[in-house]
Structure 1
Amino acid sequence: MAVRIGGQAVMEGVMMKNMDRYAVSVRKPDGKIETKVRKCVSFAEKHPVFKLPVLRGVVNFVESMVIGISTLNYSAGFFEEEEETQPGKIDQMLDKISSGKGESIMMAFVLIISLAISIGLFMVLPYLASELLGQWIRNEYIILLVEGLIRIGIFLGYIVLISRMEDIKRVFMYHGAEHKTINCLEAGEDLTPENIKKHSRLHKRCGTSFIFIVMIISMVFFFFIRVDTIWLRVLLRLLLLPVVAGVSYEFIRLAGNSDNPLVQIFSKPGLCLQRLTTKEPDESMIEVAVASVEGVFDWREYLEKERKCHE
């Protein structure tokens, strides 16, 4: 039985997801680890058509963003200033208007804003920049390539810039702890700090690799957009994004289960990029990652069964 646990780093913690449950473990300011476990039923479980290839990728992308933002907010709550213990006026007003659903509304608002900024920064801006260069470059293939290179350049610049922030450096260390723990589990080894430390902090199913693959595959899809109006080209790019995300998900899924040399070659750029978004964790961070795994998965029972099967 293959392990299908995925995760995400949060502020001073790690979120791990397994099947229909996820757990987020946070190292609180007092040094203790607190773990919250929640059940999450995928939209695809209620509507089986969304289990089909590509469609399942779109659903997974949206659900991952929702859970990601929720767990980030949860972890950040442990480090808010003490004087902010009372809800703000905006929060109180939202709760009153929405019958106690103010937090859900705020979550939806944050999700929409995050998507809008990401699409504007990494999709629309590179296209408009390449259009400006089109005044001097007449070859549409070169313009498309330049658009893709600008998109990758903006993304790399963004990663390098935020990696200089002290809080982000620690998030990247927890990101490394998450990957090393999953790699250790997938290797069939006990989740002890000694075992986890020796494993790689890179993983083929990482979200960083997914974003990079999205950028590459988008270049292929956008090549087939053949309209003259700028606003219509932008609109078609936006409409194609769910398809691009779905196809990219299928590649990441394949990469996580395949040792095919060609798949390995295409996975290399994403793995190299993870050297920027992951850092070597300390033992206390590894302990948090293990606590998060234990919130959703009995790894001892799993490894015992695996060993008995191979005896």
Structure 2
Amino acid sequence: MKSSGIGGQAVLEGIMMKNGDRYAVAVRKPDGEIAVDEQEYHSIAKYRWMRLPFLRGIFNFVDSLVIGMKTLTFSASFYGEEEEGKESKSNFLERHMTEEQLEHFMMTLSVIFSIVLSIAVFMVLPVAVAGFFRRFTDSSFLIALIEGLLRIGIFIAYVGLISFMKDIRRTYMYHGAEHKCINCVEHGLPLTVDHVRRSSKEHKRCGTSFMLIVMVLSIFIFMFLRIDNIFLRMMSRVLLVPFIAGISYEFIRLAGRSENPIVNALSRPGLWLQGLTTKEPDDSMIEVAIAAVERVFDWRKYLSEEFGLTFESEAGEKAEPADQKGAGA
């Protein structure tokens, strides 16, 4: 499988797709039409050292949060409620900031809040709970294992429980559509609703897999850190998050480009977990995903260069690649 380099994210009733410095978010509006917003985003990794292996993953994670907040804001604008309440609350800021400054401020605040909340719930809380078991054992290895299993358990319970919410379940369906589109083109099939529907809803470069790798890797790293003071232990978890995220990003990057049996085996738990965060989409969701892809990615050129496909027109293929293995769900 040849990596296309495109990635995405599900949003409220829509999908964001990113390719290089360009991203597009497509949203199914309440009236049934598809609205597409295309933007250019330049990474915060402006210096060469920021793009070095094991460092680039940290900055890529922040970029993903920023773009995610922007695209969620766009999609939510079509389904906004309580507009008057929001307006009155923001009057003070609106009087002292331009629209651009206000948007930047709120985006920064949202990203910081998301990072702090994630670290508190998935890194700090398990340390506090695992500390209870110190009255039964002195083994730092066992405590680190319990802490790690708690962390993974909290994460799985979280993504599983929120799937019962109607809006989240639909977002998981759009998440499935996003993966199906990427798998479709990366396995040499023209980007049509029929081909996308037959493609897999799991992908090795998924953020769900990334989060699981971070948590599993943290178990092994924290096993070798013996810190008795609970506050210093919590602080060590926070400070090591960028280091662990950097390693995890490199593995995800490798997995997306490799068919090595060992890499595939290590990727398998993440694909299993995606069974919770991706659901089978309907055709209308697939249409939204295709609309987002086509604004930032020339899939016809990609299939021509990588698989030798040629096309009679924008709508139909003239030839199909001989090898289509892995394209089915």
**Fold equivalence (TM over 0.5):** yes
- Contact 1:173 1:280 (8 Å CA) reproduced: yes
Q: 1:87, CA displacement in angstroms?
A: 5.7
Q: Secondary structure of the residue that 1:205 maps to in structure 2?
A: coil
- Contact 1:14 1:178 (8 Å CA) reproduced: yes
Name the amino acid aligned to 2:237: R
Equivalent pairs, count: 309
1:167-207 per-residue CA deviation (whole Å, 9 max, x = no partner) reads 01100000000000000010111101111111110000000
Q: 1:118, CA displacement in angstroms?
A: 1.0
Structure 1 position 257 matched with structure 2 position 257: yes
Q: 1:113, CA displacement in angstroms?
A: 1.4
Name the amino acid aligned to 2:21: D
Distance 1:51 1:65 in 2: 17
1:104-123 per-residue CA deviation (whole Å, 9 max, x = no partner) reads 11111111111111111111
Q: CA RMSD in A?
A: 1.7
Give the alignment's TM-score, normalised by structure 2: 0.90
Counterpart of 2:90 in structure 1 is 91
Distance 1:67 1:193 in 2: 26
Distance 1:307 1:8 in 2: 26
Counterpart of 2:227 in structure 1 is 227
- Contact 2:6 2:182 (8 Å CA) reproduced: yes
User: Can you give the 5+ residue segments of structure 2 that lack an aligned partner in the other structure?
Assistant: 310-320, 323-329
1:260-306 per-residue CA deviation (whole Å, 9 max, x = no partner) reads 22211111111000001000000000000000001101112322333
Structure 1 position 42 matched with structure 2 position 74: no
Distance 2:3 2:157 in 1: 36
Change (3 A) 1:122 1:2: closer
Q: Secondary structure of the residue that 2:118 maps to in structure 1?
A: helix
Q: Secondary structure of the residue that 1:189 maps to in structure 2?
A: coil
Q: 1:63, CA displacement in angstroms?
A: 0.6
1:10-32 per-residue CA deviation (whole Å, 9 max, x = no partner) reads 01100000001110000000000
- Contact 1:4 1:18 (8 Å CA) reproduced: yes
Structure 1 position 12 matched with structure 2 position 13: yes
Counterpart of 1:152 in structure 2 is 152
Which stretch shows the higher mean deviation, 189-198 or 259-268? 259-268
Distance 2:78 2:272 in 1: 33
Counterpart of 1:194 in structure 2 is 194
Name the amino acid aligned to 1:269: P
1:76-100 per-residue CA deviation (whole Å, 9 max, x = no partner) reads 110013x627961232321322333
Counterpart of 1:29 in structure 2 is 30
Counterpart of 1:181 in structure 2 is 181
Q: Secondary structure of the residue that 2:39 maps to in structure 1?
A: strand
Which stretch shows the higher mean deviation, 138-147 or 280-289? 138-147
Counterpart of 2:300 in structure 1 is 300
Counterpart of 2:52 in structure 1 is 52
1:152-175 per-residue CA deviation (whole Å, 9 max, x = no partner) reads 111111111100000011000000
Distance 1:228 1:138 in 2: 10
Q: Secondary structure of the residue that 2:25 maps to in structure 1?
A: strand
Name the amino acid aligned to 1:12: E
Counterpart of 2:272 in structure 1 is 272
Name the amino acid aligned to 2:185: L
Distance 2:189 2:137 in 1: 55
Q: Secondary structure of the residue that 1:16 maps to in structure 2?
A: strand
* Mapping for residues 73-112 of structure 1, pairs under 5 Å: 73-81=73-81, 84=83, 88-100=87-99, 101-112=101-112
Counterpart of 1:243 in structure 2 is 243
Name the amino acid aligned to 2:55: L
Q: Which has the higher helix share?
A: 1
Structure 1 position 138 matched with structure 2 position 135: no
Q: Secondary structure of the residue that 1:88 maps to in structure 2?
A: helix
Counterpart of 2:205 in structure 1 is 205
Q: Secondary structure of the residue that 1:14 maps to in structure 2?
A: strand
User: Can you give the 5+ residue segments of structure 1 that lack an aligned partner in the other structure?
Assistant: none
Change (3 A) 1:23 1:135: same
Distance 2:187 2:35 in 1: 27
Give the alignment's TM-score, normalised by structure 1: 0.95
Q: Secondary structure of the residue that 1:50 maps to in structure 2?
A: helix
Q: Percent identity?
A: 52
- Contact 1:95 1:103 (8 Å CA) reproduced: no
